[in-house]
Amino acid sequence: MRTRILLFCFALLSMSSVVNAQEFDYPLNAAGDIEFLGEFESQSDIAKIFANARVWAISNNHIIASEKPETGELIISCNVRGRSAYNPFAGMFQETIQFVLTLNCSDNKVSYVMSNFKLTEVYTGYGTKTTVIALVEKLKILDKAKQDKKDAEANLEMKRKQQKDIIDDCEDTIAAASDSLFEAYKSITALLELLKNDLSK
């Protein structure tokens, strides 16, 4: 168990060294939804890969939604931690990311698809509030805030205070959305590296 925790921490640190703060690159499919897909090689046959995948899912507290040993397909509901923030005046914010991981195992090869990403934010302070949105919506919020800021900066007819207020609001939105997306990206890609490490043997 200790080894698995160290591997996960190493994966997070590795991603941090490659991805600078606030940099992320979410792959989008033809429908405009976030979707990671690919394949990697393994030293094992289909039966062992499938068995290892089950162990990986259970030991990491994910939920096996469907399994077909005869075809090597395994569908897993995954849950990873995202951004957390604490403000003594506002309260505690904790985000988690849920998604579906579909594995197709064959001799010496594993293909994967990670899709249906959702972001859950739990606020605890003056009461408790839970918000769930598609992760791709965070990307849209970020893009809109960047465009709104650009438009405000270019609007020479706008009153100075109004312009400043809009820009300040946009910058707050950009910072919060960027933090959420960056932390989610780190956790998702770290999980993927851990998966590859465990199933490539």
CATH classification of the domain holding 33: 3.30.530.80
How many other CB atoms sit within 10 Å of the CB of residue 43? 10
Q: How far apart are CA 125 and CA 74, in angstroms?
A: 39
Residue 60 lies in a domain: yes
Please check whether residue 144 lies inside any domain of the structure.
yes
Instruction: Evaluate whether residue 81 is within a structural domain.
Output: yes
Whether residue 22 is contained in a domain is answered as yes
154 by Cβ neighbours in 10 Å (0-12 / 13-18 / 19+) ranks as: exposed
**For the segment 146-180, what is each residue's pLDDT rounded down to a tens digit?**
999 999 999 988 899 999 999 999 999 999 999 99
User: If you count DSSP H runs as helices and E runs as strands, how many of each does the chain have, helices first?
Assistant: 4, 6
Domains identified in the chain, total number: 1
Question: What's the confidence (pLDDT) of residue 12?
Answer: 42
Q: What is the pLDDT of residues 82-121, one digit of tens each?
A: 999 887 877 888 999 999 999 999 999 999 999 999 999 9
Contact by Cβ (8 Å): 37, 114: yes
3-state secondary structure of 123: strand
For residue 149, give its domain range. Answer: 2-196
Predicted pLDDT at 3:
44
User: Among 1-5, 37-41, 92-96, 121-125, where is mean pLDDT lowest?
Assistant: 1-5
Judge contact between 40 and 196, C-beta under 8 A: yes
**What are the φ/ψ torsions at residue 45 (nearest 5 degrees)?**
-85, 175
Quick count: other Cβ atoms within 10 Å of Cβ 17?
8
Has residue 201 been placed in a domain?
A: no
DSSP 1-42: -HHHHHHHHHHHHHHHHHS-TT-----B-TTS-B-EEEEEE-
